[in-house]
């Protein structure tokens, strides 16, 4: 009985047609694996390039995505209404909120967007 099991475990040689098919499949597998390896390396190289790329000048970024040059500060001007007295200022996400009163006593909140360079909201404040 043990002789029968040994005979079943031994591999029998394939006929020539099947051997050719096996060789072609092994070759195809090696070529496909090589192509996949090259493409994987290209993707990794692109990721490393994007992460380490600089444009020559170091830049700092504020939360609104506005790019600030390293060689000097940004400059800008806000045209507030005539007679507007600023009582408080707040900045968040690249926007500046000016809160104050007009000459007639009306309270206002004016929102200036730094990236857009213009006033994006003019809000009348009423109530207490």
Catalogue the E-assigned strands of 21-104. 59-61, 67-69, 85-92, 95-101
Q: Is 42 helix (H, G, I), strand (E, B) or coil?
A: helix
Phi and psi, residue 61, nearest 5°:
-125, 135
Phi and psi, residue 50, nearest 5°:
-65, -40
CB atoms within 10 A of CB 119: 16
The predicted-structure confidence for 9-25, as pLDDT tens digits, reads as follows 677 777 889 999 999 99
The predicted-structure confidence for 100-124, as pLDDT tens digits, reads as follows 999 898 899 999 988 788 889 989 9
């Amino acid at each position: 009985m043990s002789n029968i099991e040994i005979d079943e475990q031994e591999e029998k040689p394939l006929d020539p047609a099947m051997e050719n098919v096996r060789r072609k499949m092994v070759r195809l597998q090696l070529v496909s694996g090589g192509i996949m390896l090259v493409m994987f390396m290209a993707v990794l190289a692109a990721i490393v390039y994007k992460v380490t790329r600089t444009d020559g000048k170091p830049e700092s970024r504020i939360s609104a995505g506005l790019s600030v040059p390293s060689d000097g500060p940004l400059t800008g001007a806000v045209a507030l209404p005539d007679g507007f007295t600023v009582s408080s200022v707040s900045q968040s996400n690249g926007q500046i909120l000016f809160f104050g009163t007009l000459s007639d006593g009306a309270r206002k909140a004016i929102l200036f967007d730094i990236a857009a360079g213009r006033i994006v909201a003019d809000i009348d404040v009423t109530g207490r």
